[in-house]
Amino acid sequence: MKKSLHNFLKFTNFELERLSKFLFALMGITFIANLVGYIYTPMKYMGKINEYIAQNSATSEQAIQQYGPFSFYNALNSFWIVGPIALGISGFIFYSFFIWYREWFGKNTFAYRLLMLPIHRMTLFYSKLVVVFIGIFTLISTQMISLFIGYPIVSAIIENTYYVNQSLMEAVQLHPLFLYLFPLDLGFFLTINAVGLVVLLVLFTAILMERSYAVKGIVLGIIYAVVALTLVLLPLFLPDLLNNHYILYGSELIIIEAILLVIVAVLSLFTSRHLINKKITV
Amino acid sequence: MIELKNVHKHFGRKKVLDGISFTANKGEITCLVGVNGVGKTTILNAIMNLTPIKKGEITIDGELMRPDLYNKVAFIPDVAIMLPNMTVHEAMDFMKDYYVSWNCKRAKEITRFFRLNLTEKISELSKGNQAKVNLLMGLALDVDYILMDEPFSGIDIFTREQITDVFSSRLVEDRGVLITTHEIFDIEHLIDKVVLLDNGVIYKEFNAEEMRETEGKSVVDVMREAYNR
């Protein structure tokens, strides 16, 4: 047990080192783009206000009527903030595939070495899973740090007359994307992360199916992913699908969601274990 | 002893191995020979649990393959298997980190023998030197068995000589070696046992020296006989 944990930590560290360049690049882009957004978006707004006032000899009130007031939420809604989130999401979807396929394709076939390591092969699986999660959380943290830096910058650039004083938490909770990135409710936070974890488990299982059964594996993987993800995501979207004509209470939906998450997670883990130990091919 | 019992393997509808059974013993060099696509590499991959078999059993000293047995059997494939951006030294450190059977003293000895530059990145090495790194990663392990897949493929004559020297050196002494090669002339005099494959089955299993002495035939003569039937 102790040895397995040691191997897991050692391999996770190795995988983290391999992720580092990609992660630092994403963190850099996120941080710089956010900083630009927190400076450029309010300055652009103030520029428009000043121009409007100068050209029309208008009052501040008239300018507000024309362009509306500015809150931190407006800064969050800009391309500079939303763009890096989209980039991060697509980056980690790509990396979830890349973390496996790079071992087979590319200059050298590192899959040989990995599969011949004297450690349980599921250690490789768990390490890759944890590394993707660490990467996602690190990127979210970067976004969070830039939020704290950006908040005073925005309020300093926008003149009080035009600024709607909104707390950071309020702005985050209003934003549909940030609501998922920084859920303030513990239950919601756990649900979001559990769903994320299971989605990743399903994806890894589908990849192992393809690595084990080639073309047949692609078909199998797609069918498995569609069925498993439908099961897992259905309770979350059920109220919307039924136009909020609830047939179940919220608490009942959460219990069903939790059961489905556990079933799909266990099934994915067992399938992956079987494939990586007995079916995978170099 | 590495033992294959009635091993079957299919690639789609194509039958590659059709009930293969043989043993490779410790202290012997066993050579798998046959034309391209006959299933030599597949056998080595199957022994290392790198590809599943349809039927049959493969054991190493009576045990089915499990993770800790990778400290007992090493496989040297004919492709580069360490990360290209690693230096030779980093690759050695990686092996040391994971294999209790990694022998640092022997690793240094082999790097000297092959004149490998430890600070050079694997991707920057010539094909011959990459093959030497592959050999280093396998030979520096204190294992009982070494499997080698086409160690001479695409390698110049001098490197080939160096690799041939490995077979007669103490780097492989007492170990069981299972090798596949087309360049049979280079090592024919060193081989103890030959397993000749044809159409998914073993056409003949023989001792190379005995065959030479009793029937006056080389390994290639027996191969010709098999494929000209």
More confident residue, B200 or A247: B200
Reported as half-sphere exposure (CB side, CA atoms, 13 A), residue B134 has a value of 29
pLDDT greater than 70 at residue A246? no
**B146: CB partners within 8 A, 6+ apart:** B73, B74, B75, B76, B138, B139, B172, B175, B176, B177, B178
Are A80 and A165 within one domain?
yes
pLDDT greater than 70 at residue A1? no
Q: What is the pLDDT of residues A181-190, one digit of tens each?
A: 888 888 888 9
Query: Mutate which of B49, B129, B141 to test chain A, going by most A C-beta atoms within 10 A?
Result: B49
Last residue of a domain, one of A182, A212, A241: A182
pLDDT greater than 80 at residue A137? yes
> Is residue B135 within 8 Å of residue B110, measured between CB atoms?
yes
More confident residue, B123 or A107: B123
Query: For position A148, what pLDDT does the model report?
Result: 94
Which residue segment(s) compose the domain that A7 sits in? 1-182
Query: For position A93, what pLDDT does the model report?
Result: 95
Q: Token match 């200059």: residue?
A: A107
Cα A193 from Cα A176, distance rounded (Å): 17
**How much is the average pLDDT of B42-60?**
96
Are A218 and A255 within one domain?
yes
**How much is the average pLDDT of A167-190?**
87
ipTM over 0.85: yes
Q: State the average pLDDT for chain A.
A: 92
Cα B178 from Cα B44, distance rounded (Å): 8
Q: A103-107, B117-121, B137-141, B157-161 — which is least confidently predicted? A: B157-161
pLDDT greater than 90 at residue A202? yes
Q: What is the percentage of chain A residues whose pLDDT exceeds 90?
A: 76
Residues of B engaging A, defined by a Cβ cutoff of 8 Å: 45, 48-52, 67-71, 75, 77, 79-84, 94, 97-100, 122-123, 137
Buried b (16+ CB within 10 A) or exposed e, B16-29: bbbebebbbbeebb
For residue B82, the chain A residues in CB contact (below 8 A) are 108, 110, 113
Are A64 and A127 within one domain?
yes
Pick from A12, A126, A14, A21: nearest CA to B91? A14
Are A213 and A252 within one domain?
yes
Please name every residue paired with A56 in a beta bridge, in sequence order, or none if there are none: none
**How much is the average pLDDT of B163-187?**
83
Going from N- to C-terminal start, the domains of chain B cover 2-227
Last residue of a domain, one of A161, A182, A203: A182
Are A120 and A4 within one domain?
yes
Pick from A74, A78, A76, A87: nearest CA to A29? A87
Q: What is the chain B residue with the closest CA to A110? A: B81
Q: Which CATH number fits domain B2-227: 3.40.50.300, 3.40.50.1970, 3.30.70.20, 3.20.20.70?
A: 3.40.50.300
Structure tokens at B157: 């004559």
Minimum distance, in Å, between the CA of residue B229 and any CA atom of chain A:
34
Residues of A engaging B, defined by a Cβ cutoff of 8 Å: 7, 10, 14, 106-110, 112-113, 115-121, 212, 277-282
Are A174 and A245 within one domain?
no
Query: How many domains, chain A?
Result: 2
**How much is the average pLDDT of A51-71?**
91
Are A265 and A207 within one domain?
yes
pLDDT greater than 90 at residue B155? no
**How much is the average pLDDT of B149-160?**
83
Are A117 and A167 within one domain?
yes
Are A145 and A210 within one domain?
no
Q: What is the pLDDT of residues A207-245, one digit of tens each?
A: 999 999 999 999 999 999 999 999 998 888 877 777 767
More confident residue, B68 or B189: B68
Which of A14, A108, A281 is nearest residue B81 as measured by Cβ atoms? A108
Directed axis angle between helix A250-274 and helix A121-157, to 10°? Answer: 140
Are A39 and A136 within one domain?
yes
Cα B40 from Cα B202, distance rounded (Å): 11
Q: By 3-state DSSP, what share of chain A in percent is helix, strand and coil, each rounded to 5?
A: 85, 0, 15
pLDDT greater than 80 at residue B191? yes
**How much is the average pLDDT of B168-194?**
85
pLDDT greater than 90 at residue B73? yes
